[in-house]
Amino acid sequence: MSRTDLGMPTVRPAYGHGHITLDEPFPDSARTQLGNAQMRKNIRHATHSIRAKRARVVDELPDWQRLRAAGSALKQQVMADLPALLEQLEANVTARGGVVHWARDAEEANRIVTELVKAKGVDEVIKVKSMATQEIGLEEALNAEGIAATETDLAELIVQLGHDKPSHILVPAIHKNRNEIRDIFVREMEETDESLTSEPKDLAEAARRHLRERFLRSSVAISGANFGVAETGTLSVVESEGNGRMCLTLPETLITVMGIEKLVPTFQDLEVFLQLLPRSSTGERMNPYTSMWTGVTPGDGPQEFHLVLLDNGRSAVLSDPAGRSALHCIRCSACMNVCPVYEQTGGHAYGSVYPGPIGAILSPQLTGVEDGANGTLPYASSLCGACYDVCPVAIDIPSILVHLRDQDVQATHARKKAEKKVPVPSQMDLMMKGASTVMSSGSLMSLAERGLPVGRLLAGKDAKLGWLPGIAGGWTDQRDVPAPPQESFRHWWKRNRSGSGQQDAEQTTTSEEEQA
């Protein structure tokens, strides 16, 4: 990929679909995950704890909404000026001793990184937690070439040793409790035995011993980046453990894979995001470790630095005015911690490294809603709007979900038309058509409302409808529907107020005439 390719509307990832695309429709995968009671308990406890911490530290800032607006405006500026900002970043990284590579898709990015590692003659690397490298399936690509990649983030290490997949952007092992983690460590770490307890401090110490030798012997590290500063060529990683800083400073060679949307125009712009991100993600006022590096500094840190700028469908997202704000995401995970759907299904149901509300709008756009089962992800939401309320850069996730649902419907109709199939209306089509007809006519709406007493009669003494026919049965399979009111507001108003309203108006007119 060259810098002149930016803005092309057809770039789609050609590799790593197992990481971006659902293997089965979301309703099916969600149904499977709903049966895991322990996972649901773990996630509920963790998300509610993080949610409460976030609320406390956000309430401390009187200008929080202004910060959100500033973050949103900066991201809009980045999207508008992305080609120029990327060229500026490349020039500044290169001027300071780094090497910039452009990757059109996951396959190209994996090839670049693999060749860089093989050129150093090593078969082992250490990694900083990175969503971009998970997105492209880098670990699997390295393993296929005989290169072992060790995750150094504690939660990522737990997932890796457990031969599992992440289920949360911020806390990948959120679906595991400490007893399960202890069992994984005993089974997978040679340094441990049955004497290991499930106390957090003991688990952290076991992970520290396991990673220490790898930090000291590894000469190549791979990282992602939270932010890239176009003005200076500076890259930044924020974290809470310090393991990331070990990766960024000890090895001789550092390879960073960064999505092209992670830019900020100037160094001063970091001020906004370094206030928004920690409060929204971990519920902290600031990140314990904020690491920044600019190119190569002789005698200090890695002496060889490579930056891989990853498209992998992002320019296609950028070409959609209604959906491009998904690229504003700073990966805080706040939307996941308040989402009622995510809380019940967990992250694995989304089939992507980007789960939750942000994954429901980002994954389908990276691949196209017509690709596999990703078209079902925009329906993985109640549209309650909680995700928008907590998003630190004010991404209107509900509106994008509706936009993508429309794209899915249009793609389905186009596919049927191309296959020259006679369209057979579904139950949903018929129900929506009927609702449209009734709601577009006041007299038909009034007539339909006359049937409300029938609904109350069917609800019985407990005033609940536990069964509905057809497609509506999908709702009552999981919950009851309250009985409808005895009569509609329209009929109540007509019976109680319409006459008195006219009388009141006549009395007012008479009073005004008398005063005159």
Residue 237 sits at φ, ψ, to 5 deg, of -130, 130
What pLDDT score does 449 carry?
A: 87
What pLDDT score does 422 carry?
A: 66
Overall average pLDDT of the 467-486 stretch: 81
109: left (phi over 0), alpha (psi -120 to 50) or beta: alpha
pLDDT digits (tens, 9 = 90+) for 375-400: 899 999 999 999 999 999 999 999 99
Q: Give the CA count within 13 Å in the CB-facing half-sphere of 195.
A: 4
Q: How many CB atoms lie within 10 A of CB 73?
A: 13
pLDDT digits (tens, 9 = 90+) for 138-177: 999 999 999 999 999 999 999 999 999 888 988 899 899 9
- Report how far residue 411's alpha carbon sits from residue 388's, in angstroms, rounded to the nearest whole number: 27
> Using 50, 70 and 90 to split pLDDT, how confident is the model at 414?
confident
More confident residue, 387 or 470: 387
- Report how far residue 104's alpha carbon sits from residue 2's, in angstroms, rounded to the nearest whole number: 8
> Using 50, 70 and 90 to split pLDDT, how confident is the model at 457?
confident
Domain borders along the chain are 3-177+215-316, 427-485
Overall average pLDDT of the 307-311 stretch: 98
Q: Are 64 and 411 in contact (CB under 8 A)?
A: no
Q: Are 226 and 131 in contact (CB under 8 A)?
A: no
pLDDT digits (tens, 9 = 90+) for 26-83: 989 998 999 999 899 999 999 999 999 999 999 999 999 999 999 999 999 999 999 9
Please give the C-alpha separations between residue 8 and each of 85, 102, 261, 264, in angstroms, as whole numbers.
Answer: 16, 14, 15, 21
What pLDDT score does 431 carry?
A: 85
Please name the amino acid found at residue 318: L
> Using 50, 70 and 90 to split pLDDT, how confident is the model at 423?
low
Q: Is the pLDDT of residue 516 over 50?
A: no
- Report how far residue 428's alpha carbon sits from residue 426's, in angstroms, rounded to the nearest whole number: 5
What pLDDT score does 125 carry?
A: 97
Find the length of the chain: 516
Q: Is the pLDDT of residue 371 over 80?
A: no
Please tell me whether residue 402 adopts helix, strand or coil conformation.
helix
Q: Are 465 and 476 in contact (CB under 8 A)?
A: yes
pLDDT digits (tens, 9 = 90+) for 201-226: 999 999 999 999 899 999 999 999 99
Tokens standing for 359?
A: 């994954």
- Report how far residue 440's alpha carbon sits from residue 433's, in angstroms, rounded to the nearest whole number: 11
Q: Is the pLDDT of residue 514 over 70?
A: no
- The most confident of the ranges 390-394, 409-413, 433-437 is 390-394
What pLDDT score does 491 carry?
A: 85
Q: Looking at 250-386, which runs of residues are DSSP E strands?
A: 253-259, 263-264, 289-294, 304-310
- Report how far residue 380's alpha carbon sits from residue 345's, in angstroms, rounded to the nearest whole number: 10
> Using 50, 70 and 90 to split pLDDT, how confident is the model at 490?
confident
Pairing status of strand 481-482 against strand 464-465:
antiparallel
- Report how far residue 38's alpha carbon sits from residue 477's, in angstroms, rounded to the nearest whole number: 22
Please tell me whether residue 312 adopts helix, strand or coil conformation.
coil
Q: Is the pLDDT of residue 509 over 50?
A: no
> Using 50, 70 and 90 to split pLDDT, how confident is the model at 512?
very low
More confident residue, 480 or 333: 333
Residues above pLDDT 70, as percent of the chain: 91
Pairing status of strand 289-294 against strand 234-239:
antiparallel
What pLDDT score does 219 carry?
A: 97
Q: Are 328 and 388 in contact (CB under 8 A)?
A: no
Please tell me whether residue 474 adopts helix, strand or coil conformation.
helix
Q: Are 387 and 354 in contact (CB under 8 A)?
A: no
What pLDDT score does 502 carry?
A: 52
Please tell me whether residue 229 adopts helix, strand or coil conformation.
strand
Tokens standing for 389?
A: 């309320």
Sequence-distant (6+) residues with CB within 8 A of 163 are: none
Q: Is the pLDDT of residue 15 over 50?
A: no
What pLDDT score does 18 carry?
A: 39
Tokens standing for 364?
A: 């389908």
What pLDDT score does 89 carry?
A: 98
Q: Is the pLDDT of residue 87 over 70?
A: yes
Residues above pLDDT 90, as percent of the chain: 67
Q: Is the pLDDT of residue 124 over 50?
A: yes
Pairing status of strand 234-239 against strand 227-229:
antiparallel
Overall average pLDDT of the 398-403 stretch: 97
- Mean pLDDT taken over the chain: 89
Overall average pLDDT of the 466-471 stretch: 82
Q: String of b and e for 466-505 (b: at least 16 CB within 10 Å)?
A: eeeeeeeeeeeeeeeeebbeeebeeeeeeeeeeeeeeeee
CATH topology of domain 3-177+215-316: Rossmann fold (3.40.50)
What pLDDT score does 22 carry?
A: 66
> Using 50, 70 and 90 to split pLDDT, how confident is the model at 456?
confident
